[in-house]
Amino acid sequence: MSIWITQIFNGLSLGSVLLMISLGLAFSFGLMKVINMAHGEFIMIGAYVTFVFEKNFASAMGGKDLGIWFLVSIPIAFLIAGLLGILLEKGLIRYLYGRPLDTLLATWGVGLILQQAARSIFGASNVQVNSPTWLNGGLAILDAVLPYKRLFIIGLVLLSIAIIYLFLYRTTNGRRIRAVMQNREMASCLGVPSETVDALTFGLGAGLAGMAGCVLTLIGPIGPVIGTNYIVDAFLVVVLGGAGGFAGTILAAPLIGISNTILEFSTTAALAKVLVFVLIILFLQWRPTGILTQRSR
């Protein structure tokens, strides 16, 4: 019993990380129809922001063990990655809308540039971020130990979902994003500044990726290619959930995470990946629009 509790919890934890990454992709890919191959590099940026905070600001914030530096690094990573996302949209992607292949190649090139910049600044080797002491240990339930680090990740993701919901449904900018999501042409005719909405949407997606990079520092070492380890699974979450539908993304992420951990426990890591891909392909053959489809009028 404890083994299955542990596996399901690990699946929820993996699904939570994928969900935070995928929510950013749901904005850029689902809403803007932009295949952003540099999304993984925004994850990397968030991870290195946390690393910089630990090395340079932890002592001024009560020490590494207290962990104030880590809590502060989360919104800072969101802001830095979000601002870089807005710059990328305004400086490059804006001129490539309607040209998906050009956008894919351009963002792939930007991703390579960001990876090389990280290697030049921080080195090619992976580095370890020491988590606060209050995240060490775990919660014992029925002979199973649930690590506090993964509980923190799940809690942060749930908080992020709540904030995104309030932003989309309770703020003017959120309503503008939803209007453009449902019908871009009609929203433009009604005076919604679609160019501003595009920049804000892309920045929001990049910021969420930066937050995901912060929580990944709790799981293991980070390096210039940390984002590439998750980007394919994140795209699968968005496609399976239904492009443009945030509710579908929220359902698809834990489903993929739990399926992957259970299959990996029963087989091997490589075979589990293959089986998850096969199951997703079969599901999309039956329902090409994904779990949930965004309605438009």
The predicted model gives 273-291 an average pLDDT of 80
Token pair 């542990």 in the structure block, residue: 6
Residues recorded for the chain: 297
Taking the C-alpha atoms of residue 143 and residue 146, their distance in angstroms, rounded to an integer, is 10
Sorted by where each starts, the structural domains of the chain and their CATH numbers stand as: 2-286 (1.10.3470)
- Strand pairing partners for 222? 127
pLDDT tens readout for residues 6-49: 778 878 888 888 888 888 888 777 667 778 888 899 999 999 99
The predicted model gives 52-77 an average pLDDT of 89
pLDDT tens readout for residues 149-159: 889 999 999 99
Query: What's residue 244's pLDDT?
Result: 57
Average pLDDT, the chain: 85
Token pair 């990049």 in the structure block, residue: 206
Query: What's residue 125's pLDDT?
Result: 87
The predicted model gives 61-70 an average pLDDT of 85
The residue among 237 and 72 whose pLDDT is bigger is 72
**DSSP strand E in 143-272: where?**
144-147
Query: What's residue 295's pLDDT?
Result: 55
Query: What's residue 243's pLDDT?
Result: 60
Q: Is the pLDDT of residue 297 over 80?
A: no
Chain CA centroid to CA 198, Å = 18
